[in-house]
Amino acid sequence: MHGMTENIMAVLLVVNLALMASSRLAGCIGLVALQGIAIGLLPLFAPGGFSARGFLLAAFVAVLKGIVFPRLLHNAIRGASVRREVEPFVGYGFSLIIGVALTILSFWLGTGLLPSSHGNERIVLAGAIATVFTGLFLIVSRRKALTQVLGYLVMENGIAAFGLAVVSEIPLLIELGILLDAFVAIFVMAIIIYHISREFDHIDADQLSTLKG
Amino acid sequence: MSIEKICGYLLALVAAPLLLGVINRTKAFFAGRRGQPLFQAYHDIFKLLRKGAVYSTTVTAVFRAGPPASLAAVLLALLFVPFGPVPAVFSFQGDFLLVAYLLGVMRFCTVNAAMDTGSSFEGMGASREVQFAALAEPALLLGMAVIVRTTGNLSLSGALQSFASCLTTGSAPVTILLLAAWMIVFLAENSRIPFDDPNTHLELTMIHEVMVLDHGGPDFALIQWGAALKMWVLGALVVNLLVPSVAGGEIAGAGIFLGGMLALAAAAGTVESTMARFRLLRVPQLLVAAGSFSILALILVLR
Amino acid sequence: MQFIDNAIWLLAAFPLLCGMVSLLLPSPRLVLSAAAAGVLASAALDTLAVARVFARGAMASNGDWFRVDALSAFHLAVMIIVFAMSSIYAVSYFRNEPEDMQLNLASARRFSALWHGALAAMTLVLISNNIAIMWVGVEATTLLTAFLICLHISTVSLEATWKYLIVCSVGVAFAFMGVLLLAASAGANAAGASVMQWTHLQGIASGLDPRLARLSFIFLLVGYGTKAGLAPMHSWLPDAHSQAPAPVSAVFSGFMLNMALYCIMRHMPIVAQTAGNQHWAGNLLIFFGLASILIAAVFIISQHDLKRLLAYCSVEHIGIIALGLGLGGAGIFAALFHTLNHSLCKTLGFFSAGRIGQACHSHDMRQIRGAMRIDPLWGGGLFGSLLALIGVAPFAIFMSEFMLLKAAADSHRYIVIVVFLLGAGIVFVGVLRQAIEMAWGEKPQGAHGIKSSLAERIIVLATLALLILAGIWMPDFFRNALKAAAAVAGGGMP
């Protein structure tokens, strides 16, 4: 299923670029959900992935990242009544160019890291590194707390893909533990955003700067 | 220099204004009107050729030379573009760069003529046009790099024609990305919505229309025909990506290609009817997005 | 007895059970008291495990998912001391909060649930033999303790919580990349699912790909170092510690930072045994340790808030422990000794800061005066803990720092000694000045006395006594325990 993996990774890379350029928060949540589902489907197309365990895990991930997480995040911003990311630290056009540059960098890194593996794993590795970079960039360059949470989710997606590329088999229990951690993390972050919007009347993480020194 | 290549070239010359007709008819269909006749563009060109031209006292020879020079550039560029399975009249290694730069020369002549009038409206349109073209150029050229790399054929004609057969089963993402990038370039370079509204009468929102505001008579006829030919050239790039090689030889393939061009025009008309024009601030972002699609396709092909 | 060995998982599950029981109680005071009782019961269970390990060697469960060896047992011992003291202290701390900050039933239940959850997660980290489960536990502690910081919701506490959550989550995500890279470095030796078992990795350590192992250690150090408070990843620490209630701060500084360092201690011997990397990991740790000491020293001088001051002290001491780990050999012994001392000291410090702050209605050091007069017990506790923290003899911290310097001198690393003394000197001057001003002087207006329960008196006096005792005399059983733990961190299998 060499082709399917390539298609999924291409979707991943395009979603990364779309996240860099998009300012509508609802759109960004949808994009991250799409990315999560795509990464959930990725193990199915690895050699030997078509098994009951694989399907179960893929279905679980699809439900979690495609339905539960967006629901939690939409609830969080509904109370805050924010629609758009306004005035990020780095403008959208420039973010897009940086995103392309990071993608090129991650392809270069990916080929250098695992030289002995064949082409399939290398594109997954490169896509994973690009996704992690995108997540980090979103956390650092955006103002709204919600976009920082989305950046964290994108990082988690990237690390999941990274795990797929470098480790041959992760036990089911550990996979479930990691997913549980991700779920609790988003749950906690959504609640904190709700509280922040109530206390501060905005969710600009940039303005949370009283504690200094 | 076989007979079918020349036939293909002549057919392209003649069929180009038809694209405009199809676009307008599609827009009328969406609006519930009957719309202009399909061959209205031909009537317009002939009507304009019979008229006389009035030139302002502030213009120089540059203004008068603009329309013929731009038409000559695009006529030259068309020589290197294949008509479906029929190869182009001329081809040599690296001619895709020549085509891109000939389109640039065409733009240069138009912009020069516009600036020569000394009017601020034309100058404004010229500056916008040049900015958008600068951003669209990477998308076009990198896309050409992708097809050259995939097929290994350095000539535009050869590369386009063998692209469809060179694709492996896993290269759908590359084609889709390339298609998206070149579609955006097609719309941008031909001043269609969402980049420029060809029907707008407000000078502050025009880009292409305002550059040719002062031309009249035969000059305007040459410009209209030149714009149609440019649309044909860029459209041929897009359609040749998709058209597979068919059994039945060149006539059938040429027919499919022609149908594809008309379908592309209809698609452009659909986009025009269903979308509104973007704010001028968003246009560069969309063009950068097109550029990034091309780069992404190139990365996927290069690794 | 194999049966007991297979029940190691109970150590992590038991606190959860106690937490659920405490949720059923009807009043905030009862909930807090039940929380304390639950933690004490878990502590008793853990003490049994610790004693067994030190007496008979490591305990491993069937299937090798859980394992308690000397290093885990040592950290378990530190954890139960810190948690038990903090739970008892929390009962009277929350009782004495001003009227508008009193806990209602919902917040008390939330506190108890998260408290037990954090205890369970930290135990999971210590008892697991699988590096991925260790990671899951660390991430779980981040998430569970986040709400403990903003127990009283206000603008500043939310800001601190948000910074803590984002910085630590991103850091721990990096650590996971390190875990994956370490598993990947096993390459052809990967035996399927057991590649993530720590014992398996220890066994094949010399066969790991050195380049990938080095890369993984960088990620692990940066990732777990964020959670531990190593500079320059420490930005969340002062905010979180100053905004959280005192018992929570005590647990953070007293144990949670050490738990993150424990994870680094687990990975260090594996990386150090790969080809050509014997001193590389140690040098990296020394670098981060010295950076933490210096950065903390610079920031301590300009602090006004007592709890932020204690937080930066934590950064400095974590740096000292990392430095000891990096030095290796006798340095690891000193670092582990320092772990215990620092935990005791910092816990007492936060306890005193909490009570004195309640009495003076502020944590601003410019407004706390005459602590000894407000209450001799807590004032003495504050002054004593600050003195101990800056390394005054004969407190135990002086002893452990001295051992560390001796280890550095023995391996001829004189620059380390110079930088360390520079940082420690700056901290000494900065903190002592504040400590003297806080301990003596006129009581501020409106400061009221402090009622302490018997348990609290015992806690303060016993801790001070223990700190002095440990500085003078190290009993044999303790020395052997430390040696066993240091051996694990240094690369032996216990």
Q: How confident is the model at residue C459 (pLDDT cuts 50, 70, 90)?
A: confident
Q: Tell whether C312 and C393 lie within a shared domain.
A: yes
Which residues are within 8 A (CB) of C74 and not within 5 positions of it... i.e. 6 or more apart? C50, C336, C339, C340, C481, C482, C485
Between B56 and C170, residue with greater pLDDT: C170
Cβ–Cβ below 8 Å for C184 and A166: yes
Maximum alpha-carbon separation in chain B: 62
Q: What is the mean pLDDT of residues C245-265?
A: 93
- Asked if residue C438 and residue C329 are part of one domain, the reply reads yes
Residue type, C458: I
Q: What DSSP line would sit under C356-376, residue for residue?
A: HHHHHT--BTTT---HHHH-H
Return the amino acid letter for C226: T
Nearest CA in chain B to A111: B303
Do A103 and B284 make contact, defined as CB atoms within 8 angstroms? Answer: no
Please report whether residue B291 resides in a domain: no
Report yes or no: B129 and B208 within 8 Å, Cβ to Cβ: yes
Q: What is the pLDDT of residue C192?
A: 66
Helix (H) or strand (E) run with residue C338 in it: helix C330-360
What's the pLDDT tens digit per position in C353-409? 999 888 888 888 888 888 888 888 888 899 999 999 998 888 889 999 999 999 999
Cα separation values, B159 from B91, B152, C319, Å: 11, 7, 62
Measured distance CA(B154)–CA(B147) in Å, rounded: 9
Candidates B292, B293, B301: best to mutate against A (most CBs of A within 10 A) is B292
- pLDDT recorded at residue A14: 92
d(CA C128, CA C125): 6
Q: ipTM, 2 decimals?
A: 0.91
Average pLDDT of the residues in B48-71: 91
Q: Compute φ and ψ for A24, nearest 5 degrees.
A: -75, 125
Most C CBs within 10 A among A208, A209, A210, A212, hence the mutation to make, goes to: A208
Residue B84 lies in a domain: yes
Look-up: residue for tokens 């990991």?
C281
Q: Which residues pair with C364 in a beta bridge?
A: C305
| Pair of tokens at residue A46 | 């690895």
Contact A95, B288 (CB under 8 A): no
The model's confidence at residue C2, banded by pLDDT at 50, 70 and 90, is low
Distance CA C308, CA A135 (A): 31
Does one domain contain both C97 and C168? no
Judge whether C113 and C487 are in contact, CB under 8 Å.
no
Residue B86 pairs with which residues in a beta bridge? B83
Q: How far is CA A15 from the centre of its chain?
A: 9
C330 and C189 co-located in one domain: no
A165 or B70: which carries more pLDDT confidence?
Answer: B70
Same domain for C290 and C432, yes or no, is: yes
Domain that holds residue C247: 163-277
By mean pLDDT, which of B181-185, B210-214, C191-195 is the weakest?
C191-195
User: Is the residue at B221 inside a domain?
Assistant: yes
What is the mean pLDDT of the segment spanning C210-214? 86
* Number of separate domains in chain C: 3
Task: Say which residue, A121 or B100, is predicted with more confidence.
Answer: B100
Burial (CB count <10 Å: 0-12, 13-18, 19+), residue C389 = buried
Q: Give, for C68, the enclosing helix (H) or strand (E).
A: strand C67-68
- Cα separation of C348 and C226, whole Å? 24
Q: What is the C-alpha to C-alpha distance for residues B135 and B284, in angstroms, rounded to an integer?
A: 7
> Rounded CA gap, C349 and C316, in Å?
15
Q: Identify all chain A residues contacting C299, using CB atoms and an 8 Å cutoff.
A: 213
Question: Would the CB atoms of A181 and C243 count as touching at under 8 Å?
Answer: no
Q: Tell me which chain A residues have a C-beta less than 8 angstroms from the C-beta of C131.
A: none
Looking at residue C328, its pLDDT comes to 83
By DSSP bridging, strand C67-68 and strand C59-60 are antiparallel
Nearest in space to B228 (alpha carbons), one of B57, B100, B40: B40
Tell if the CB–CB gap between C166 and A152 is shorter than 8 Å.
yes
- Cα gap B285→B282, rounded to integer Å: 5
Same domain (yes/no): C314, C418: yes
Alpha carbons A152 and C174: distance in angstroms, whole number: 11
- The verdict on residue B133 lying in a domain is no
Confidence of residue C494 (pLDDT cuts 50, 70, 90): very low
Q: Give B214→chain A minimum CA distance, Å.
A: 34
Name chain B contacts of A122, Cβ cutoff 8 Å.
303
pLDDT band at C324 (very low <50, low <70, confident <90, very high): very high
Give the burial class of B42: count Cβ atoms within 10 A of its Cβ; 0-12 exposed, 13-18 middle, 19 or more buried: middle
List chain C residues with CB under 8 Å of A160. Answer: none
Per-domain residue ranges of chain A: 2-206
C-chain residue closest to A166, CA distance = C184
DSSP-derived secondary structure for A19-64: HHH--BHHHHHHHHHHHHHHHHHGGGGSTT--SHHHHHHHHHHHHI
Structural contact between residues B150 and B101, judged by C-beta atoms closer than 8 angstroms: no
CA–CA dist B271, B286 (Å, integer): 15
Which residues of B touch chain A, with CB atoms under 8 Å apart? 168-174, 176-177, 284-285, 288-289, 291-293, 295-296, 299-300, 303
Q: Is the dihedral of CA C127, C132, C138, C144 positive or negative?
A: negative
The reply to whether B11 falls in a domain is: yes
Position with higher pLDDT, C400 vs B160: C400
Write out residues 145-184 of C within 8 Å (CB-CB) of A.
Answer: 146-147, 150, 153-156, 158-163, 165-166, 169-170, 173, 176-177, 180-181, 183-184
Q: How far, in Å, CA of C479 to CA of B263, rounded? A: 85
Check residue A204 and give its pLDDT: 82
Interface test with B, best of A2, A9, A11, A14 (most B CBs within 10 A): A14
Do C39 and C59 reside in the same domain of the chain?
yes
- Provide the pLDDT for residue C188: 64
- Across A50-59, B54-63, B111-120, least confident range: A50-59
Nearest to B285 by CA among C6, A26, A99: A99
Helix axis angle for C70-95 and C454-472, nearest 10°, is 140
Q: Identify the residue whose tokens are 């937490």.
A: C19
pLDDT band at C329 (very low <50, low <70, confident <90, very high): confident
* Residue B13 within a domain: yes
Give me the residue label for tokens 């000197």: C425
CA-CA distance, B10 to B114, in Å (whole number)?
Answer: 30
For residue B194, whether the previous peptide bond is cis, meaning omega lies within 30 degrees of 0, is: yes
Chains C and A touch (3+ CB pairs under 8 A): yes
The verdict on residue C147 lying in a domain is: no
Asked if C428 and C317 sit in the same domain, the reply is yes
Instruction: Report the pLDDT value the prediction gives residue B87, as an integer from 0 to 100.
Output: 85
- Contact status, residue B144 vs residue B87, Cβ threshold 8 Å: no
Residue A183's contacts (CB-CB under 8 Å, 6 or more residues apart) are A64, A68, A69
Structure tokens at A21: 């350029």
Q: What is d(CA B35, CA B28) in angstroms, rounded to the nearest whole number?
A: 5
How buried is residue C119: exposed, middle or buried, by Cβ count under 10 Å (0-12/13-18/19+)? buried
- The answer to whether B170 contacts A92, with C-beta atoms less than 8 Å apart, is no
Question: CB under 8 Å to B196, separation ≥6 — which residues?
Answer: B206, B207, B208, B209, B277
* Domain end residue (candidates: C277, C298, C324): C277
Q: Tokens 């909060």 sit at which residue? A: C97
Task: Determine contact, residues A192/C146, Cβ cutoff 8 Å.
Answer: yes
Which residue of A2, A6, A123 is the best one to mutate when testing the B interface, meaning the one whose CB has the most B CBs within 10 A?
A6
Which of C150, C180, C299 has its CB closest to that of A162? C180
Measured CB to CB, residues of chain A less than 8 Å from chain C are 114, 132, 136, 139, 145, 148, 152, 155-156, 159, 162-163, 166-171, 174, 177-178, 180-181, 184-185, 188-189, 191-192, 195-196, 199-200, 205, 208-211, 213
> CB of A99 within 8 Å of any CB in chain B?
yes
The beta-carbon neighbor of B169 closest among A3, A21, A119 is A3
Q: Is the pLDDT of residue A210 over 50?
A: yes
CA nearest to B81, candidates B179, B5, B149: B5
Q: Which of C277, C297, C321 is the last residue of a domain?
A: C277
Stretch B49-78: mean pLDDT, rounded?
A: 92
Which of residues C189 and C85 earns the better pLDDT score? C85
The band of B29, judged by pLDDT with boundaries at 50, 70 and 90, is: very high
Per the DSSP assignment, residues forming a β-bridge with C279 are none
What are the start-end ranges of the H helices in C96-154?
Answer: 105-127, 131-149
- The values of phi and psi at residue C364, to 5°, are -70, 125
Residue with tokens 């009035």: B54
Helix (H, G, I), strand (E, B) or coil at C23: coil
Are C and B close enough to touch, i.e. 3+ CB pairs under 8 angstroms? no
The pTM is what? 0.88
Rounded to 5 degrees, φ, ψ at B13 are -55, -40
B168 has pLDDT over 70: no
* Helix axis angle, A92-113 to A119-141, nearest 10°: 140
Q: Does C454 touch chain A (CB under 8 A)?
A: no
CB burial class (10 A; 0-12, 13-18, 19+) of residue B247? exposed
Report, as an integer, the average pLDDT of B277-287: 86
Subunit contact A196:C162, Cβ cutoff 8 A: yes
Binary contact (A132, C177; C-beta < 8 A):
yes
Tell me the mean pLDDT in the region B79-104.
89
Q: Looking at the structure, do residues C356 and C438 belong to the same domain, yes or no?
A: yes
Contact C162 A184 (CB under 8 A): no
Q: Are B172 and A11 in contact (CB under 8 A)?
A: no
Residues forming a β-bridge with C59: C68
Torsion angle of the four alpha carbons C121, C135, A184, C29, in this order, in degrees rounded to the nearest 10:
20
Res B166: pLDDT: 64
Helix (H, G, I), strand (E, B) or coil at C440: coil
Return the axis-axis angle of helices A25-41 and A69-80, rounded to nearest 10°. Answer: 170
CB C13 within 8 A of CB C124: no
The answer to whether C436 and C448 are in contact (CB under 8 A) is no
- What is the average per-residue pLDDT within B140-151? 90
Residue-range definition of the domain harbouring residue B163: 3-127+154-167+191-274
Mean per-residue pLDDT, B249-271: 89
More confident residue, B245 or A100: A100
Q: For residue A119, what pLDDT band results from cuts at 50, 70 and 90?
A: low
Question: What is the three-class DSSP state of B229?
Answer: helix
Which pLDDT belongs to residue B18?
Answer: 94
> Is B302's pLDDT higher than 50?
yes
pLDDT for the residue numbered B223: 93
pLDDT for res C447 = 76
Assigned domain for B183 exists: no
The more confidently predicted of residues B248 and B145 is B145
- Per the DSSP assignment, residues forming a β-bridge with B121 are none
Asked whether the predicted pLDDT for residue B267 surpasses 80, the reply is yes
pLDDT digits (tens, 9 = 90+) for A130-155: 999 999 999 999 888 889 999 999 99
Q: Tell if the CB–CB gap between A122 and B172 is shorter than 8 Å.
A: no
Q: Is the pLDDT of residue C492 over 60?
A: no
d(CA A210, CA A192): 17
